[in-house]
Structure 1
Amino acid sequence: MTSYQDRPWLARLGEAGRAPVRARPSVLQAFRDAVRAAPDRTAVAYFDGRLRYAELDALSDAVAGDLAGHGFRPGDRLAMMLQNTPHFVLALLGAWKAGGVVVPVNPMYKADELARLLRDAEATALVCADHAWRGPLHEAVAGTPVRLVRTARDGDFQTRNDPRVLTPPEPGRRPEPGARDLLAAARGPAVPPALAPPRAGDAALISYTSGTGGPPKGAVNTHGNLCYNAERQRRSHRLPPGSVYFALAPLFHITGMVCELSACFAAAGTLALAHRFEPGVVLDAFAEHRPAYTVGPPTAFVALLSHPGVTRDHFASFRVISSGGAPLPPALVDRFHAETGHRLLGGYGLTECSAPCASVPPGARAPVDPVSGTLAVGVPGPDTVVRILDEAGAEVPFGEPGEIAVRGPMVVPGYWRRPRETALTLPGGELRTGDIGFMDPDGWLYVVDRKKDVINASGFKVWPREVEDVLYTHPAVREAAVVGVPDPYRGETVRAYVSLRPGATAAPEELIGYCRERLAAYKYPRRVDVLPELPKTTSGKILRRELRSRG
């Protein structure tokens, strides 16, 4: 058979796509190049507020000086628990200019979750929202290595104070004891430390996995990892200079960090922020900022299409719209194209891949596997080798399922202070993803499901994705998730959870019958539960684990 490493699919990427990616050593270097090339261009847009590249450079210099002046040293970890606000960008650049490593934190974390992460990362500094610091976080941080706290106000850098997403401002309110306002620090006279620029192999982030498959682990994304994928995105999308990148995915997630923020700076573009995902706010921002690119999970696009105020014009400015972070149902691709005129471009990646390692090239149309109905997630890039392996670690023939393994410049060197997990998951530097998939002879990669999520019904394997994709074709279904539950006769059986489109109705018996007509007898769900919303992570990934625990 043809080896996966022969990469016969590179022809479809075009001449630029086939050439090796020559990236800068760091996103910080890309930002500095953008400052020199376009100092007066808007770097960050936040509601009605704007920050030029020169302003962002000066403010982040002061943040770096403030950190260094309060004992933050090269190699120290700064935890950032922020939504998509300019403070996130300021703190990120300031930490890198001070030689630090950033630990992005989900703002939805509770106090105990945050404390465990801070202790694991041995973070010495924290930036968080001021209203969060006034709550239980204040006490939780006391037992961690954190000795420096900076707070951020949602209403900074803009004047609209949109109540749909922003916490109402409290004029004159001072930070709680032990903290200082980040913007005040950024407007101070502090001078950044004189440090050598980060090298490609230096740690840039400790990105904690979502924990959907167990306790979160800190993947160490290097500066080179981030900048390689940022440059690959920039080169693939070929957007006009100064294009607007809208941050639909949260910046604390690796997808937002790389595909939005890092790629934007690599292209000297404008990063448009809207605090957090709220469909009406996002659609307003699309109309105002006229972005050329965005990326988000399928659930976000379902929510946008379901909003009563959505129009085709909201998407008129886009050149490329990508989806990642969760499986992309073919039915959603078709619906999105019919209603907006754009095709969602899928991709595949993990935290350990610093976002994508395979994607659908702009202008290409991903095929659907005729047997399983699975939509291809894309093709690997020019510097990337994706292999499909059996249980013994040997390559399987094209078309046969196995574990997806990835090697390339975007793959992390390991997990933070977890040598055992590093050795198991990254043997010889190749990432064993834990995802099951297959590749066709043309190089299209298909992701079937997580290895741990396979359902064993009377000895037959059922992949939840296949059942979910059928449910998504029902006109009433908005979201779907399928899990295996114990069954005294079959061992396991298939159970589905769905939410419905606004105004739609569908009885569980109707949905079961719909699947029975389209799936083998062992695959269709024996029970369907209709819920108002399916549980998700803040990055939009549906939490099968939580559904499974419902019994």
Structure 2
Amino acid sequence: MTRARAITEALDAVLADAPDRPAVVGPSGTLTYAALDAVADAAAGFLAERGVRPGDRVAAALPNDLDIVVAFHAVARLGAIWVGLGRALARPEKDALLAVARPALVLVDPAGYAAEHEPRTTARALGRPSPLLVDPADPSGDWAAGLRAHAGAPRRPAPDPDLPAAIAFTSGTTGLPRGVVHSQRNLLLPAAALAADRGYDGSLRKGDCLPLTILNLVVLTTLLTSAAGGCCVLTDRRDARGVAAWIERESVTVWNGVPALLHSLLHDPELTPERLASLTEVWSGGANCPEELRAAFRDRFGVPVCATYGLTEAPTVVTIDPPGRHVPGASGVPLPHLDVRVVDDEGVPVPTGELGEILVRAAHAGPWQGAYTPMLGEWTSDGLVSFQGAELRTGDIGRVDGDGWLSIHDRLKLLIMRGGANIYPAEVERVLAQVDGVREAVALGLPDPRLGQRVVAVAEVTRPGATDEATCIAHCRASLARYKVPERVLVLDALPRNAMGKPLRAALPALFASAGEPGEGASTAPRPAT
């Protein structure tokens, strides 16, 4: 890469060669590259008329459709800062994020505008405008009228690509969400690297059903497809049959699928391989994907399920399986703009294949050398707190083998310390996942006055009554050291999850409090599963 580009320029290559090629497909229709470019300019003009200036934050709680893509490009063209706001968040959660971001404008869909938890009161309390309603079904609404009024608006000069461009609030599975800040350079780089590394071209139809209010998903849709010259295809359907019908109807070629949805597709007896024939690969980002599920999906549908590792702070994908290759238990190899190394507690690199903390930095050789810069910092109620250094400490524990394959072992901050022994939750979770009837398990530590922490776990079953606590604990006793065996295993029909499909670890301790104090071995306390 010869220079940093702005998102304003992301569409230019396709605009020059194939302006009538579809750029984005959503429930309300299709936009070509030429149409997306024009309507993004119009939206930028409208937002500016509403008072948005460079550096202002614009929050959006919008569904997966054309307007969220248009709004993102418009905010970028203004040099403002995009803030995705999860539509499923409760009102207090939205209020907390808005209090930190202090947006100049909040974009909401009709459901969000009318719902009790819609944060219009927060906007007023902060002296901000009421939320702007974005309704593709209402041609007389403010959004549609504003776009018409600014039709033909000229493109604005590209903003500085190294200034703050987006705030991504982390999922908050271990506490209060953090506002990770990225520049336009940060957002464009992984998209360009993925497109080049995987050989994507205009035939790419990248599908996503996970919400684009998550910043990583914006990178992996419109920015990735723009880099490749392809089309991003969006839906809000997250049920197996709805997703299968969407993949078939829209000829999706690459799709992000969380393990729970892959499992549902795999076990739908009416779903034939022909329904998913357009897929060339699935990415298993968002949660741990068991090797058995990965293999079974490939065997039934003929589609590889690529392992990925990424994080909000990067942003998005750090490693991914090379096309056509997978090492069981690994999460792929680094993208070409990145270098991944593993260090001990003192920051000293560990020998190849040994466990340590994963660090991410710019590639030190090749055509992408030095292109990557870490996140700009963290957004607080006082503004940007800059990140210091050229290397990102992930807080994840893993190893890199002699061929560069990264294996994730666990989260450093999730480490359970029981009586002086370190226990990685993933060790327990992998064993519990082997129990017949367990779809997914989460292990965690609860405070203990004698041991420091004690080990407990929560297991999500494939169907009500598929297994019980005693069976789970017995299997752990047969497979784990005694000190690693969970004292309690709560069996649930469904784990609490966030919008990315990740289990909400922060919500799990309360389940044990409501079920009673853990004792030794199998308990007779009532099970949350029905």
Shift of 1:537: 0.6
- Structure 2, unpaired ranges of 5+: 363-371, 513-530
Farther off after superposition, 502-511 or 86-95: 502-511
Partner residue, 1:405: 359
Partner residue, 1:142: 124
* Match for residue 291 of structure 1 among 234, 245, 252: 252
Conservation of the 8 A alpha-carbon contact between 1:220 and 1:412 = yes
Partner residue, 1:87: 67
Shift of 1:353: 0.3
Amino acid aligned to 1:242: S
Partner residue, 1:49: 29
Partner residue, 2:367: none
Shift of 1:145: 4.7
SS in 2 for 1:405: strand
Distance 1:445 1:129 in 2: 40
Shift of 1:542: 0.8
Partner residue, 2:434: 473
1:310 aligns with 2:271: yes
Shift of 1:320: 2.2
SS in 2 for 1:397: coil
**Structure of greater relative contact order (alpha carbons < 8 Å, 6+ residues apart):** 1
* Match for residue 260 of structure 1 among 200, 221, 234: 221
Amino acid aligned to 2:157: A
Partner residue, 2:192: 231
Aligned identity (percent) is 33
Shift of 1:382: 2.7
Superposed CA deviations along residues 87-132 of structure 1, whole A, max 9, x for unmatched, are 1011111212223221111111222322332232221011111221
* Match for residue 395 of structure 1 among 349, 356, 368: 349
- Structure 1, unpaired ranges of 5+: 1-20, 157-170, 175-179, 368-374
SS in 2 for 1:25: coil
Conservation of the 8 A alpha-carbon contact between 1:261 and 1:271 = yes
Distance 2:155 2:221 in 1: 28
* Match for residue 11 of structure 2 among 22, 31, 38: 31
Q: 1:223 to 1:123 in 2, by over 3 A?
A: same
1:117 aligns with 2:115: no
Farther off after superposition, 281-290 or 461-470: 461-470
Superposed CA deviations along residues 385-444 of structure 1, whole A, max 9, x for unmatched, are 222222222222223322211112152121125899967xx5412111111222222222
Partner residue, 2:522: none
Q: 1:410 to 1:151 in 2, by over 3 A?
A: farther
* Match for residue 462 of structure 2 among 496, 501, 521: 501
Instruction: Give the alignment of 1:508-527 within 5 angstroms.
Output: 508-527=469-488
Distance 1:401 1:531 in 2: 32
Conservation of the 8 A alpha-carbon contact between 1:64 and 1:193 = no
Shift of 1:342: 2.2
Detail structure 1 runs of 4+ shifted over 6 Å in the superposition.
418-421
Amino acid aligned to 1:392: E
Q: 1:83 to 1:22 in 2, by over 3 A?
A: farther
SS in 1 for 2:313: helix
Superposed CA deviations along residues 475-505 of structure 1, whole A, max 9, x for unmatched, are 4222221112345665433222122224772
Q: 1:430 to 1:465 in 2, by over 3 A?
A: same
Shift of 1:346: 1.4
1:278 aligns with 2:278: no
Superposed CA deviations along residues 23-75 of structure 1, whole A, max 9, x for unmatched, are 86133312233233222222222247222222222222211111112222122
Count the aligned residue pairs: 501
Shift of 1:327: 2.6
Partner residue, 2:407: 446
Distance 1:68 1:48 in 2: 25
Superposed CA deviations along residues 240-280 of structure 1, whole A, max 9, x for unmatched, are 42321101332122331112221011112111111252322
SS in 2 for 1:522: helix
Distance 1:550 1:501 in 2: 19
Distance 1:331 1:346 in 2: 13
Conservation of the 8 A alpha-carbon contact between 1:118 and 1:144 = no
SS in 2 for 1:299: helix
Superposed CA deviations along residues 328-364 of structure 1, whole A, max 9, x for unmatched, are 3323222322332222111112111010122221121
Conservation of the 8 A alpha-carbon contact between 2:186 and 2:315 = yes
Farther off after superposition, 297-306 or 33-42: 297-306
Conservation of the 8 A alpha-carbon contact between 1:25 and 1:198 = no
Amino acid aligned to 1:264: T
* Match for residue 361 of structure 1 among 316, 322, 333: 322
SS in 2 for 1:327: coil
Partner residue, 2:176: 215
SS in 2 for 1:75: coil
Q: 1:113 to 1:146 in 2, by over 3 A?
A: farther
SS in 2 for 1:310: coil
TM-score, length basis structure 1? 0.84
Conservation of the 8 A alpha-carbon contact between 2:78 and 2:159 = no
Distance 1:537 1:307 in 2: 24
TM-score, length basis structure 2? 0.87
* Match for residue 391 of structure 2 among 419, 430, 444: 430
1:186 aligns with 2:147: yes
Farther off after superposition, 323-332 or 431-440: 323-332
Amino acid aligned to 1:520: A
* Match for residue 102 of structure 1 among 46, 61, 82: 82
Distance 2:466 2:396 in 1: 34
Q: 1:60 to 1:309 in 2, by over 3 A?
A: farther
Partner residue, 1:168: none
Distance 2:385 2:273 in 1: 46
Partner residue, 1:379: 333
SS in 1 for 2:481: coil
Shift of 1:474: 3.1
1:457 aligns with 2:418: yes
Partner residue, 2:134: 152
Superposed CA deviations along residues 265-305 of structure 1, whole A, max 9, x for unmatched, are 11121111112523222111011011111123333323333
SS in 2 for 1:351: coil
Distance 2:359 2:46 in 1: 42
Shift of 1:228: 0.8
SS in 2 for 1:186: helix
1:352 aligns with 2:313: yes
Distance 1:475 1:239 in 2: 39
Q: 1:87 to 1:121 in 2, by over 3 A?
A: same
Distance 1:436 1:482 in 2: 16
Q: Give the alignment's Cα RMSD to 1 decimal.
A: 2.6
Amino acid aligned to 2:69: V
Distance 1:504 1:233 in 2: 43
Conservation of the 8 A alpha-carbon contact between 1:244 and 1:290 = yes
Farther off after superposition, 309-318 or 439-448: 309-318
Distance 2:3 2:408 in 1: 28
Q: 1:468 to 1:421 in 2, by over 3 A?
A: farther
Partner residue, 1:248: 209
Farther off after superposition, 22-31 or 33-42: 22-31
